[in-house]
Amino acid sequence: MSLVLDREAPVVVEPQRPRPSGNSAVAVIVLIGLAVAGAWSVWSLGIDIATIASSFDNALGFFSRIVPLDFPAFGETVSLVVETLAIVFLATLLSVVLSIPVALLAARPTRMGRGSQWTARTLIVLARAIPDLVLAIVFLRIFGLGATAGIIAMGIHSVGMIGKLYADAIEELDDGPRESIEALGGSRSQQILTAIPQTLMPQLIATALHRFDINLRTSVLLGYVGVGGIGLAIADSLRTLDYQRGMALAVIVLVLCIVIELVSGSIRAALMASTGAKITGGTWVDRMFNRDRATGVGDLTLTPPWSVARFRRFASAAVLIVLTIAALWRVDVSWSALAAGLLDLPKTVSLFFPPSTGGTLANLVEQLLVTIQISLAATFIGAILAVPIGILAARNVVANRAVHKTFRVLIVIVRGIPELILAIIFVVISGLGEVAGTLALSIGAIGLLSKLIADSIEETDLQVQEAVRTTGAGEAQVFFSATLRQAAPAFVAHIMYLLDTNIRSATLLGVVGAGGIGFLLLNASRVNQFDVVTMVLILMVAVVLLVEALSMWLRRAVR
């Protein structure tokens, strides 16, 4: 060893160690600060082994209270499921319809001007920042109880995600085809409608399906404020302490979520697989429709032949139309209430202004802090458990197939359970309050974060690991010096994203009694203190934007 050093030493000039840049030093301090705040939140919320152990006792009592599960009659179940699906379907459809023009205005290649681009981007951010629950409270006031308010609320809030993803997709698209239409003298609408729809269609549908999954979970929550479907039935039975029925309905939601996720996942996979697929000689469908298809140039038809692709396009459009009509019929949208509500809009909106603290600002701030504590604590617990789970689930870290498969399946199962159902279960087990919310959010956080972590480890450059391995490094050395080093910035980004979503979720879970400002929100809307709803909303949006700004800065600083 020393021999080698001796030989090298005279030649190599010791390089100056560069000072770490100011930003990354501050970033580390901020990250440590967040971790300490997370740990402190866990402690101050009173979550420790003793609490969890006593919850375990409660859990036994909980099981005795919910067994036997009291499932509603088959017809009623189907009716509830169909109503929920109809509401979610219409909400997602509405948000797609709203998102397309917004995204076209917000994306650089298709924007009309800087002013309208800025407006569209602001609309997207606003739609994302205002929770659908708050929108539902507003629209219930405007349109009366029922599905309409829920559909519009989810439809508008979803623009925050769908509009952003659509705009991103348009910007990532190759601009060449659009430019070629511009070059040949095509108008703006010709450029957009020729070059974009067919290219983006698979992504548009995939995004909509993804949002459908999310909206299905949200629709349960909206039941608490009076939007119909399974959520309303759960809220009603829990209010009357009918846990046997409530938990049976929760099981139905759970199964529904898993089924829908599987269905939409397979549709998305099929969509992605069919893009750019080579057209072969033709399947039996081609042969059935085109028995006497011409082959010579002279007698080629001017109408496209009925290929599988064309048949599929027509069939999908037909199914979409039928589903829309069926859903509209099922939820029985009352158009007259809609019109009356719109006419009354100014009067209703004036109910929400000016914002008021509804008595004490101190109480609001205190509850807001509890919400922040819950999300910090849940993110902390989630991160501590999700990092090892995510690492073990990554295929390029654990060579043993059985191990990483097992952890992948575990993650899928945990992710399948809606946080809301978890919150309801924990509220029943450990009583109303922060502990229930934190535990529910933590489990949700584990599901989301461990998937993100496993994915970003699998995305690391394998060749770097190979390079380190060829130097004779052991597996642990390879992991720490090659794999983890590459994935670390992604970890920070994911954890900040988790904190961001947890603040929203913590607020929403408060509605079912899991502590924090959400409960104030629900109460204010029940006693018609709409000015307080506005105040809560302003506080929440401020916190969310603050966290988002912090996480944007952190992500750039650690890169």
Partner 1 sequence: MTHSHPAPTTLELQREIDSIYSVQLDHVTKDFGGGVLGLDNVNLGFRTGGISVLLGLSGSGKSTLLRHINGLHTPTSGRVRVLGQDMDRLRRSELKAVRRDIGVIFQSFNLVGPMSVLENVCAGALGSLRGPRITLMMYPKAIRREALEKLDRVGLADRAYQRADTLSGGQQQRVAIARALMQHPKVLLADEPVASLDPVSARDVIDLLRQISAEDELTVIASLHQVQLAIDFADRIIGLRTGRVVLDRETAGLSAEEASQIYSSVSGMDTPAEASERAGATTAGSHTAKSGTEAAARVGATR
Please report, as ranges, the residues that interact with partner 1 according to CB under 8 A: 174, 176-177, 179-187, 189-190, 192-195, 197-199, 201, 275-279, 295, 297, 300, 302-305, 307, 309
Distance CA(153)–CA(111), nearest Å, equals 26
- Judged by beta carbon, residue 9 or residue 321, the one nearer partner 1 is 321
Q: Which is nearer to partner 1, 276 or 346 (CB)?
A: 276
* Residue (207 or 501) nearer to partner 1, CB: 207
Of residues 194 and 396, the one with the C-beta less far from partner 1: 194
Contact 41, 376 (CB under 8 A): yes
The tally of CA atoms less than 13 A away on the side-chain side of residue 544 is: 20
Which of 255/319 has CB closer to partner 1? 319
The residue among 5 and 277 lying less far from partner 1, judged by its C-beta, is 277
Q: Looking at this protein, which amino acid is placed at residue 356?
A: S
Asked if 303 and 241 touch (Cβ cutoff 8 Å), the reply is: no
| Residue 112 CB, nearest approach to partner 1 (Å) | 14
Rank residues 15 and 176 by Cβ distance to partner 1 and give the closer one.
Answer: 176
Q: How far is the CB of 295 from partner 1 (least distance, A)?
A: 7
* Distance (Å, whole) CA 345 – CA 352: 11
**DSSP characters over 351-367:** HT-S---SS-HHHHHHH
Instruction: Tell me how far apart the alpha carbons of residues 191 and 196 are, in angstroms, rounded to a whole number.
Output: 8
Instruction: Report whether 212 contacts 85 (CB < 8 A).
Output: no
Nearer to partner 1, 268 or 415 (CB): 268
How far apart CA 446 and CA 387 sit, in angstroms, is 9
Our CB check for partner 1 shows the closer of 10 and 176 to be: 176
Q: For 222, left (φ over 0), alpha (ψ -120 to 50), or beta? A: alpha
Q: At which residue do the structure tokens 């933590």 appear?
A: 442
CA distance 515 to 412: 27
SS3 state of residue 282: coil
Give the C-alpha separation, 238 to 512, whole Å. Answer: 10
Tell me which residue of 32, 129, 531, 90 sits closest to 327, measured CA to CA: 90
88: nearest Cα among 268, 304, 368, 331: 331
| Full DSSP string of 171-200 | HHS-SHHHHHHHHTT--HHHHHHHHSHHHH
The Cα 95–Cα 164 span in angstroms is: 12
